[in-house]
């Protein structure tokens, strides 16, 4: 097997002319745009984004070297920084004046480190002495200071998704101060400290922006996590599909960390990479490229030996369903010795997620049914992620083909099926009928009727009408199936008609009659059906008894032993007379 | 009876037991060759030959009336003989002396002996003979197999070795209806615990290739059998009436030493082998297990019986290997045992306090061999104690014979001499026998009472309530004996 890559660039990376002394390249993380500025803009600026339509090309006057260039959200206003004191703006809104306008930073003697757009018309200047939050009025070609804050800044980082700016303060740079921006307001968040491995003396800047990456991840991560890189050098961080990807520059490999994956061997928040280091899938890029990375799941399967951990890992990924199902198939097909405990663990992990979804779904349904009276707006229908692998998924993609595989011992097949049923039961999930059918089919194929019998005895295969019918069909090969089936129908207590049919078909007419009496259905039952069956047995006394029993019923119900024309028993009356004579017929009682 | 005259009662006892094959000595003067085993061995040769010849003649004679079903038993005043042909031309015969009462006579005359020839039941002792063969087969394979392997000499040797000991364990006086059924008592268990056991058994079998089949028992009751029903039936009999009692007796004796509490996470467990080595740490330990023979699709296979026990739970594992098993099974089984134990206590609680109930019953289902008896006390190696008078047991046996005669569902109610009512019900493949102690009740009341009992579900095998489908409230036949 060749080198397996689990990271790849997206299918259409942004391509641009590579940087040179005439061509400056800038990347705006917020809009994912690449700016290629030729000769200070005089010979053209080409902007390319992840989507083709966000590409823009224009020209601007060369007023000095461009230090930073970014569009506001929606490409409305372009901000260009050429000096350390000011930022220039150009309107890109049609019908607005195109002439550049400039804003100098308010703080005296401060130099602008950079700027970030927080909205289409709101911008933050970060200077070495603080931050300034402005609103831009493109029509008036002016800015209005909304708020400012003085603080010594070494460097900053901006997270566009959350509009949070992180400032590095103090001499060592390891006290980080976040600010959040929203709808024209600026709020200071609580600062935090990054522990330095070695405290330098005398104090000097020890933490750089390269050491920090900001990202949003699902769920609350209250404490920070420690990622064990086990190597030194320059790193860059990315977050892909809730995974922390650390790119190691010198070895040109990337490490993946899943901070939700708990490693029992390490302290609570210390993480080892989940997968061995691999480079990003090589991609032939003719010029230079930047792209969104994505995690390719199938190759991870072989790199992670611990299948339980692998499941934990896969269950938290976006497009995991088919990969998980194929891992299940793979474990089963391997048929390695001692794989049952692994199979059990995997099933338990899948069913845990499945159960959580079912519960959420049920809570939602109950809330919906109880009406929109209280806080129904808050009730959101639970999202069914790909990680929810239900019984039909397992059946269709894994179990049915597995049971038909040649060369797998039936013992193992049954063990796996029972393991899955055990796991479902453990999470109190109702087992679907087709799984039982699969078990029965496998047992019957191998003549393991006694096993089947024991499973049914202990109600491992839950009662149902289809199951009872299936058992009835097995009677010819395994006679006790008849008893099992009848017992099951009896327990169901909704299958009285079926029981009567079964008994009649076995010519147990008296049994059927007794049964229907015991459940109080005697009055409504079709006499014809019983008389037919009794007549078929050829047992005259039996026919007499059954006939008499219905005459008595008629007497009790209608005051006359005669059958109603609607009951279509004329032929039976004739038959009775033939056998026993007219006198034997019950006479209507006078009482 | 007049005072001072001591009557002496004798229970049925084994007079002789022999195995023969008429084809082995067809010519005159060679009769002795027919005899493969004879108990008691000290009987004079000619008498042996005479007895065997008589049996041969009776079977031959009755065959003329029904070629497929020759005589099964011969009733005489003093004894009863049972014939059984387990394999072609191989016959096992058991002669049982009828129970008798010895009445002392005045004037120093020898006491009069009164044989009670109708007191013993063909079905019961017929079943005992068949069981003798099944037990032999379990440990030795068929007669034919021994013949193939080593001719008559080997067969004689094997028969001698097996039956010499086995016949000593036959307690003919305490044989009853349960021997006819040869049932298995199942342990009632909830689905989840049962699935856990399944999971455990599957894992053990998967990781230890040598294990071919597993049976799982708790408290002498079966929970799971990987063996086929017939093999399990006889193995169950061996385990519950022979192996377990033999091992539980010393266990009970040493009861004062309390079990040490479990240490969590430790490999400490209570497992031990009932067959094979008693102490694994002992370097001298011999790793030898009894061999057993079980049926397969084509003939028989020879396996080793390994019985491993944790507290009340035991697992029978067949085939060879050991420390591995101990390490793997021991701790897991200890955990499972406490799970099951919990269930056991719950079951107890549901069934209510242990007070003497107004009725006793035996239940048997032919389909799964499930049996349940509140008449029998705990089985021990020596005797099977019943809590009712033998007369009542005899009535149960009689009812069972009646049931066996027809396929139809039946119900029989009997008033016994001792004012007990005995009710037998047969429905589909199930049989229920109830003994009621209600002296003044009439037939209708007894019927109602039994109906009520069935409805409470106390008389169920642990899986289904006795199906009232075709039993309740209807009598095909009622016989009252006073």
Number of Cβ within a 10 Å radius of residue A286: 7
Q: Which residues pair with B97 in a beta bridge?
A: B13, B79
**Residue A336 at interface with chain B, using a CB cutoff of 8 Å:** no
Torsion of the alpha carbons at A584, A585, A588 and A590, rounded to the nearest 10: 0
Tens-place pLDDT, residues B402-441: 888 877 778 888 888 777 888 888 877 788 888 888 777 7
Selecting from A340, A451, A490 the residue whose C-beta is nearest the C-beta of B206 gives A340
Structure tokens at B434: 């109830």
Q: Which pairing describes strands B371-373 and B376-379: parallel, antiparallel, or unpaired?
A: unpaired
Between chains, do B228 and A508 touch, taking CB under 8 Å as contact?
Answer: no
Question: Residues 466-505, chain A: which have Cβ within 8 Å of B?
Answer: 480, 483-484, 486-487, 490-491, 499, 503
Q: What is the DSSP code string of A25-89?
A: EEEETTTTEEEEEEGGGTT-EEEE-SSGGG-EEE-----S--SEEEEPTTS-EEEEE-SSSEEEE
Residue B184 per-residue DSSP state: B
Q: Is A459 close to B191, i.e. CB distance below 8 A?
A: yes
The 10 Å Cβ neighbour count of residue B313 is 24
Give the model's pLDDT for residue B156. 92
Cα distances (angstroms) measured from residue B365 to each of A503, B93, B115, B222:
19, 29, 35, 15
Q: What is the mean pLDDT of residues B392-399?
A: 86
- Residue A27 pairs in a beta bridge with A34
CA quadruple A271, A274, A279, A282: dihedral sign: negative
- Residue B160, CA distances (Å) to A260, A350, B165 in order: 70, 59, 9
Burial class for A333, CB neighbours closer than 10 Å (0-12, 13-18, 19+):
middle
Tell me phi and psi for residue B410, to 5 degrees. Answer: -140, 165
> A175 by DSSP, 3-state: which?
strand
- H helix intervals, A370-398: 391-394
In this prediction the pTM is 0.70
CB-facing half-sphere around the CA of B32: CA atoms within 13 A: 6
CA distance A343 to A19: 53
Distance CA A422, CA B191 (A): 9
Whether the predicted pLDDT of B95 surpasses 90:
yes
Q: What is the pLDDT of residues B29-76, one digit of tens each?
A: 888 888 999 988 888 889 999 999 999 899 888 888 888 888 888 999
Q: What's chain B's length in residues? A: 482
Contact A389, A324 (CB under 8 A): yes
The H-or-E segment that residue A157 falls in is strand A155-159
What number is the ipTM of this complex? 0.77
Nearest-CB residue to B463 (from A411, A457, A511) = A457
Rounded-to-integer distance, Cα A229 and Cα A278, Å: 13
**Rounded distance between C-alpha atoms, residue B57 and residue B91, angstroms:** 13
Assign B14 a pLDDT band (cuts: 50, 70, 90).
Answer: very high
Residues of B in contact with A417 (CB under 8 A): none
Contact status of A44 with chain B (Cβ, < 8 Å): no
- Rounded to 5 degrees, φ, ψ at B32 are -60, -30
Structure tokens at B178: 């349960």
User: Tens digits of per-residue pLDDT, A469-518?
Assistant: 888 888 888 888 888 888 888 888 788 888 888 888 888 888 888 888 87
**Rounded to the nearest 5°, which phi and psi values hold at B430?**
-110, 145
Nearby residues of A583 by Cβ (< 8 Å), 6 or more positions away: none
Q: Indicate the SS3 state at residue A400.
A: helix
Selecting from A341, A454, A487 the residue whose C-beta is nearest the C-beta of B225 gives: A454
Alpha-carbon gap, residue B31 to B18, rounded angstroms:
14
**With an 8 Å Cβ cutoff, is A454 touching chain B?**
yes
Contacts 24+ apart (CB under 8 A), A295-300: A295/A6, A295/A7, A295/A240, A295/A241, A295/A243, A295/A245, A295/A256, A296/A5, A296/A6, A296/A7, A296/A8, A297/A6, A297/A323, A298/A323, A298/A326, A299/A4, A299/A5, A299/A6, A300/A6, A300/A275
The 3-state DSSP class for residue A292 equals: coil
Mean pLDDT, residues B173-177: 83
* Secondary structure, 3-state, A214-244: CCCCCCCCCCCCEECCCCCCCEEEEEECCEE
SS (H, E, C) A540-573: HHHHHHHHHHHHHHHHHHHCCCCCCHHHCCHHHH
Taking the C-alpha atoms of residue B466 and residue A435, their distance in angstroms, rounded to an integer, is 29
**If you write DSSP's letter for every residue of B71-140 in order, what string do you get?**
--EEE-SSEEEEEEEEETTEEEEEEEEPPEEEE--GGGPPPEEEE-TTSS-HHHHHHHHHHHHHHHHHHH
Terminus-to-terminus CA distance in chain B, angstroms?
Answer: 22
Res. B322: pLDDT tops 80: no
Reference B120, options B275, B15, B252, B226; nearest CA is B15
Q: Among residues B197, B182, B298, B189, which one has the least CA distance to residue B229?
A: B182
Mean pLDDT, contiguous 10-residue spans, chain A (591 residues): 57 65 80 82 80 75 84 86 88 81 85 88 90 89 88 86 85 84 85 74 72 59 53 63 68 67 50 57 40 58 72 79 84 74 89 90 84 60 83 90 84 90 92 91 88 87 87 86 84 83 84 82 84 87 88 86 84 87 72 47
User: Are the beta carbons of B367 and A490 separated by less than 8 Å?
Assistant: no
Q: Cα–Cα–Cα angle for A540, A544, A548, nearest 5°?
A: 170
Strand duo A243-248 + A253-257: pairing: antiparallel
Answer yes or no: are the C-beta atoms of B476 and B409 closer than 8 Å.
yes
**Using the beta-carbon criterion (under 8 Å), do B464 and A503 form an inter-chain contact?**
no
| Mutate: best of B218, B294, B469, partner A, most A CBs <10 A | B469
| CA pair distance A253, A278, nearest whole angstrom | 5
Residue B300 binned pLDDT confidence (cut-offs 50, 70, 90): low
Which of B195, B218, B233, B329 to mutate: most A Cβ within 10 Å? Answer: B195
Distance CA(A285)–CA(A533), nearest Å, equals 83
A374's tokens: 């209280």
Whether the link from the prior residue into A202 is cis, omega within 30° of 0, is yes
The pLDDT tens digits of the residues spanning B326-384 come to: 556 666 666 677 777 776 666 655 554 444 457 788 888 888 888 888 887 655 544 55
Alpha helices in B141-267 (DSSP H): 143-166, 177-181, 191-207, 229-238, 244-253
Helices (H), A390-448: 391-394, 400-404, 410-426, 433-445
Least reliable range by pLDDT among A84-98, A518-532, B229-243, B303-317: B303-317
Burial class (CB in 10 A: 0-12, 13-18, 19+), A256: buried
CA-CA distances (angstroms) from residue A583 to A234, A569, A577, B337?
111, 18, 8, 69
Give the other-Cβ count within 10 Å of A309's Cβ.
17
Put simply, the answer to whether B206 touches A419 (Cβ < 8 Å) is: no
Cβ atoms of B447 and A549 closer than 8 Å: no
Residue B217 pairs in a beta bridge with B222, B314
Cβ distance B199 to A421 less than 8 Å, yes or no, reads: no
Alpha carbons A177 and A167: distance in angstroms, whole number: 5
Q: How far apart are CA B339 and CA B244, in angstroms?
A: 21
Closest CA–CA distance from residue A14 to any residue of chain B (Å) = 53
Is the distance from CB of B15 to CB of B78 less than 8 angstroms?
no
Q: Cα–Cα distances in Å, from B295 out to A36, A440, B181, B229?
A: 83, 22, 21, 10
Query: Shortest Cα distance from B394 to chain A (angstroms)?
Result: 29
For B369-389, the pLDDT digits (tens) are 888 888 876 555 445 556 777
């Amino acid at each position: 097997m060749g080198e397996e890559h689990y990271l790849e660039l997206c299918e259409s990376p942004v391509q641009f002319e590579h940087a040179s002394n005439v061509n400056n390249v800038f990347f705006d993380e917020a809009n994912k745009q690449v700016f290629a500025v030729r000769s200070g803009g005089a010979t053209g600026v080409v902007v390319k984004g992840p989507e083709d339509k966000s590409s823009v090309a224009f020209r601007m006057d060369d007023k000095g070297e461009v230090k930073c260039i970014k569009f506001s959200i929606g490409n409305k206003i372009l901000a260009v920084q050429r000096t350390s004191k000011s930022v220039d703006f150009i309107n890109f809104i049609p019908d607005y004046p195109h002439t550049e306008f400039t804003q100098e930073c308010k703080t005296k003697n401060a130099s602008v480190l950079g700027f970030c757009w927080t909205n289409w018309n709101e911008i933050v200047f970060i200077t070495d002495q603080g931050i300034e939050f402005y609103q831009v009025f493109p029509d008036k070609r002016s800015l209005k200071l909304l708020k400012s804050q003085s603080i010594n800044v070494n460097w900053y980082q901006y997270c566009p998704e959350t509009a949070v700016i992180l400032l590095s303060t103090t001499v060592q740079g390891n006290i980080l101060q976040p600010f959040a921006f929203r709808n024209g307001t600026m709020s200071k968040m609580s600062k935090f400290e990054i522990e330095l491995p070695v405290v330098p003396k005398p104090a000097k800047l020890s933490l750089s922006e390269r050491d920090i990456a900001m990202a949003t991840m699902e769920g609350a991560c209250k404490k920070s996590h420690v990622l064990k890189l086990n190597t030194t050098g320059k790193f860059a961080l990315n977050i892909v599909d809730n995974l922390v990807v650390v790119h190691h520059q010198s070895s040109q490999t990337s490490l993946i960390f899943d901070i939700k994956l708990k490693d029992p061997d390490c302290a609570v928040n210390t993480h080892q990479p989940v997968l061995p280091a691999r480079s990003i899938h090589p991609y032939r890029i003719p010029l230079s490229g930047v792209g969104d990375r994505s995690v390719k799941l199938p190759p991870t399967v072989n790199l992670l030996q611990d299948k339980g951990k692998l499941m934990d890992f896969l269950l938290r990924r976006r497009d995991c369903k088919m990969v998980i199902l194929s891992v299940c198939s793979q474990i089963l097909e391997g048929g390695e010795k001692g794989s049952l405990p692994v199979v059990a663990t995997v099933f338990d992990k899948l069913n845990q997620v499945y159960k959580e979804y079912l519960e959420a779904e049920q809570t939602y349904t109950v809330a919906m049914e109880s009406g929109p009276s209280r806080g129904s707006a808050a009730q959101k229908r639970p999202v069914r992620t790909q990680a929810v692998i239900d019984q039909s998924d397992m059946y269709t993609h894994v179990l049915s083909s597995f049971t038909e595989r040649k060369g797998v011992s039936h013992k193992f097949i049954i063990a796996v099926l029972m393991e899955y049923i055990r796991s479902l039961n453990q999470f109190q999930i109702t087992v679907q009928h087709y799984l039982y059918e699969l078990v029965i089919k496998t047992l019957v194929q191998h003549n393991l009727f006694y096993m089947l019998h024991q499973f049914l005895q202990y109600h491992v295969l839950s009662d149902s009408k289809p199951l009872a019918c299936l058992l009835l069909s097995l009677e010819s090969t395994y006679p006790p199936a008849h008893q099992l089936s009848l017992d099951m129908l009896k327990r169901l207590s909704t299958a009285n008609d079926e029981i009567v049919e079964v008994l009649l078909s076995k010519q147990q007419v008296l049994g059927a009659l007794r049964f229907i009496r015991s459940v109080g259905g005697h009055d409504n039952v079709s006499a014809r059906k019983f008389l037919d069956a009794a007549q078929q047995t050829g047992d005259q006394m039996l026919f007499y008894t059954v006939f008499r029993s219905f005459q008595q019923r008629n007497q009790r119900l209608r005051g006359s032993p005669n059958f109603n024309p609607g009951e279509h028993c004329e032929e039976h009356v004739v038959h009775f007379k033939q056998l026993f004579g007219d006198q034997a017929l019950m006479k209507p009682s006078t009482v | 009876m007049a005072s001072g005259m001591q009557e002496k009662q004798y229970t049925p006892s084994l007079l002789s037991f022999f195995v023969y094959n008429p084809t082995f000595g067809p010519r005159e003067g060679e009769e002795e060759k027919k005899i493969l085993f004879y108990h008691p061995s000290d009987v004079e040769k000619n008498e042996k030959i005479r007895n065997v010849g008589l049996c041969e003649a009776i079977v031959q004679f009755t065959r003329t009336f029904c070629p497929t079903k020759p005589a099964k038993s011969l009733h005489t005043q003093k004894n009863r003989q049972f014939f059984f042909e387990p394999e072609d031309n191989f016959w096992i015969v058991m002669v049982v002396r009828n129970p008798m009462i010895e009445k002392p006579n005045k004037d120093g005359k020898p006491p009069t002996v009164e044989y009670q020839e109708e007191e013993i039941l063909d079905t019961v002792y017929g079943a005992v003979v068949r069981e003798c063969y099944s037990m032999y087969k379990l440990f030795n394979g068929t007669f034919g197999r021994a013949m193939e392997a080593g001719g008559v000499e080997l067969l004689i040797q094997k028969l001698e070795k097996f039956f010499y000991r086995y016949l000593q364990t036959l307690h003919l006086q305490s044989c009853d209806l349960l021997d006819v059924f040869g049932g298995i008592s199942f342990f009632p268990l909830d689905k989840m615990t049962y699935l856990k056991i399944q999971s455990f058994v599957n894992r053990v079998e998967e990781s230890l290739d040598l294990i071919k089949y597993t049976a799982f028992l708790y408290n002498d009751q079966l929970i799971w059998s990987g063996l086929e029903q017939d093999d399990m039936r006889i193995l169950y009999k061996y385990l519950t009436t022979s192996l377990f009692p033999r091992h539980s007796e010393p266990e009970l004796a040493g009861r004062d030493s309390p079990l040490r509490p479990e240490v969590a996470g430790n490999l400490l467990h209570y497992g031990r082998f009932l067959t094979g080595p008693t102490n694994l740490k002992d370097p001298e330990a011999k790793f030898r297990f009894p061999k057993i023979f079980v049926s397969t699709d084509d003939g028989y296979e020879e396996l080793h019986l390994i019985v491993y026990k944790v507290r009340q739970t035991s697992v029978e594992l067949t085939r060879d290997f050991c420390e591995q098993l101990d390490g793997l099974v021991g701790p897991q089984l200890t955990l499972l045992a406490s799970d099951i134990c919990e269930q056991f206590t719950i079951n107890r609680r549901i069934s209510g306090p242990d007070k003497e109930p107004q009725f006793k019953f035996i239940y048997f289902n032919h389909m799964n061999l499930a049996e349940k008896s509140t008449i029998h006390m705990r089985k021990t190696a020596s005797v099977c104690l019943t809590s009712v008078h033998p007369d009542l047991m005899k009535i149960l046996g009689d009812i069972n014979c009646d049931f066996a005669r027809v396929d139809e569902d039946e119900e029989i109610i009997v008033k016994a001499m001792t004012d007990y009512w005995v009710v037998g019900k047969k429905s589909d493949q199930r049989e229920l026998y109830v003994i009621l102690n209600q002296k003044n009740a009439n037939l209708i009341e007894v019927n109602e009472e039994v109906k009520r009992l069935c409805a409470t579900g106390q008389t169920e095998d642990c899986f289904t309530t006795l199906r009232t489908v075709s039993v309740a409230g209807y009598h095909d036949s009622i016989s009252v004996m006073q």
